[in-house]
Amino acid sequence: MFRTNKTISLTKKIKMNESERIQKQKELIEQIGIQSERDGYQPAAARILGLLMVMDKEEYTFEEIVEEMQMSKSSVSTALKNLELRGVIEYVTYTGDRKRYFRFISRDIHAIISETEVKLKKSREIIQQVIRLKKDPGSRNAVFLKHISVGMDFFVHKLDDLKKEYKRGHFEYDSETRLWVELFQDEEKPK
């Protein structure tokens, strides 16, 4: 079974001053934006998603996003609606403050994996339908799609095992509460 080493850090600490670090964060926002565009996000939504993921400030008002991203209000409004519909951001409000604070949604890893599994199964079914409708099952495209379908089958069947293995390595069962509790390997448990 794969075990993570307790001493391995998920982030490599690089010595740099504050302005260099912020510049690196902005470059990373652009990289996330480019990748997210490839995944079907609108350009403005892709950059806003990057902003909410990368920057140290984790909640931004509408006006702060407009100012930080140097985008029009209509572009930001459309992008935020798009990101909310996709389920990747949310907003919170605070008593006595009429503003909405937008933030990246932190979700359970199992929910993310299950969502990916559903998408993978749907894509696999469509590919299998394409293969069934091909006149020549030996054509270049049909053969390629068969290989893709076999690979997808492999990953779908392995996902349950991988989820169980991940749970064993990162969670322990609490018999009193009858819940799985995340293990905090390098950090103090919250009080």
Selecting from 3.40.50.620, 1.10.10.10, 3.40.50.40, 3.90.1170.50, what CATH number does the domain 18-104 have?
1.10.10.10
pLDDT at 43 > cutoff 90: yes
- pLDDT tens-digit readout, 51-75: 999 999 999 999 999 999 999 999 9
Domain extents in the chain: 18-104, 109-182
pLDDT at 191 > cutoff 50: no
SS3 call for 107: coil
| Paired sense of beta strands 97-104 and 60-61, if any | antiparallel
Q: What is the pLDDT of residue 188?
A: 45
**Helical ranges in the chain per DSSP H:** 18-38, 43-54, 62-69, 73-86, 109-133, 140-170
- pLDDT tens-digit readout, 63-110: 999 999 999 999 999 999 999 999 899 999 999 999 999 999 887 777
Measured distance CA(166)–CA(92) in Å, rounded = 31
Contact 99, 66 (CB under 8 A): no
Burial class of 50 by CB neighbour count within 10 A (0 to 12, 13 to 18, 19+): buried
pLDDT at 139 > cutoff 80: yes
Res. 7 pLDDT band, cuts 50 70 90: very low
> Which residues neighbour 128 within 8 Å (Cβ) at sequence distance 6 or greater?
149
Q: What is the pLDDT of residue 13?
A: 54
Across residues 152-160, what is the average pLDDT?
88
* Residue percentage of the chain with pLDDT more than 90: 61
Query: What are the tokens at 83?
Result: 């990101």
Quote the mean pLDDT of the chain. 84
SS3 call for 99: strand
Q: What is the pLDDT of residue 157?
A: 87
Contact 37, 20 (CB under 8 A): no
Choice between 132 and 165, residue whose per-residue pLDDT is larger: 132
Contact 105, 89 (CB under 8 A): yes
Q: What is the pLDDT of residue 79?
A: 97
Q: What is the pLDDT of residue 183?
A: 58
Measured distance CA(31)–CA(12) in Å, rounded = 18
pLDDT at 131 > cutoff 80: yes
Contact 29, 50 (CB under 8 A): yes
Measured distance CA(157)–CA(125) in Å, rounded = 14
